Amino acid sequence: MNIHEYQAKQLLAKCGVAVPFEIPARSLAEVRPAAEKIAASGSAKIVVKSQIHAGGRGKGTFKSGFQGGVKVASSVDEAVGYAEKMLGNVLVTKQTGAEGRQVRTLLLAAGAKIKREFYLAVLLDRANSRPLVMASTEGGMDIEEVAEKSPEKIFKEWIDPAVGIMPFQARKIAAAFGLKGDLFNAGVKLITGVYNTWWECDATMVELNPLCIVELADGKETVMALDAKISLDDNAL
Ligand code: ADP
Ligand code: MG
């Protein structure tokens, strides 16, 4: 079973993974107050994100002709305008097939100032009977394409399920991202939290694409999950 991005992020946040300030909205009536809260939180940008059970939303097209299932607005009115184009409409992406998916829920998110984008996933490697953490500096891209064209850019770390992720393994992955100093420590915490989410939720996959280094209002940098996908094991349900 797949869950929406906003639900995945709620589960990740419970395990200590940093995510942006975000509010889901199921109707236009809910969009404006949500956008106002995000603006009031001090965010100059409000990201309006279509919630469908498929990726590639940013580069998707609505059947109405409207371009983009993820839009960055600079004001509450602009965010409401994007929401009007998305809610109830059918979004077609590389992953939905030609029939597309109807958008019934939006996620309003504080716009992050992205410095770098990474890819991080935990999945079950059935061939090795082990959880596998995959990490790449090629974030925000189609990971299948990276795996095909430059497999050396995907770092893999297998986890002993009886022990869980060991601190040295989380450090190896943070080092593979090239993180240093405070960002390295924040990365280790985030990576550990992502593995723990996978384990605690009986997930078959947890995928962050992108996981980002973002710049905060005070100029400091931190790591944060800007997109998340979780698939749950139907048997575990
Ligand atoms: P999808 O993978 O379905 O296209 P994403 O959530 O990854 O959807 O959004 C597409 C792109 O939009 C991301 O790669 C990222 O660059 C940008 N983005 C997403 N959420 C935010 C946010 N909260 N702040 C700033 N940029 C964002
Ligand atoms: Mg994404």
Amino acid at 88: G
Answer whether residue 80 shows pLDDT above 90: yes
Q: Which of 109, 66, 115, 113 is nearest to 86 (CA)?
A: 66
In order, the DSSP letters of 36-64 are: HHHHHTT-S-EEEEEE-SSS--TT-EETT
Return d(Cα 206, Cα 196) in angstroms, integer: 10
Answer whether residue 140 shows pLDDT above 90: no
Query: Tens of pLDDT along 6-29?
Result: 999 999 999 999 999 999 999 999
Answer whether residue 143 shows pLDDT above 90: no
Answer whether residue 4 shows pLDDT above 90: yes
The pLDDT assigned to 217 comes to 87
Can 152 be counted among the known catalytic residues?
A: no
The ligand minimizing its distance to the Cα of 140 is: 1
**Does the C-beta of 210 come closer than 6 Å to ligand 1?**
yes
Name the H helices within the chain: 5-14, 28-40, 76-86, 143-149, 167-176, 181-200
Answer whether residue 42 shows pLDDT above 90: yes
The pLDDT assigned to 136 comes to 97
Whole-number Cα distances in Å, 131 to 40, 163, 200, 206, 231:
41, 11, 13, 11, 14
Overall average pLDDT of the 133-151 stretch: 91
**Does the C-beta of 81 come closer than 6 Å to ligand 1?**
no
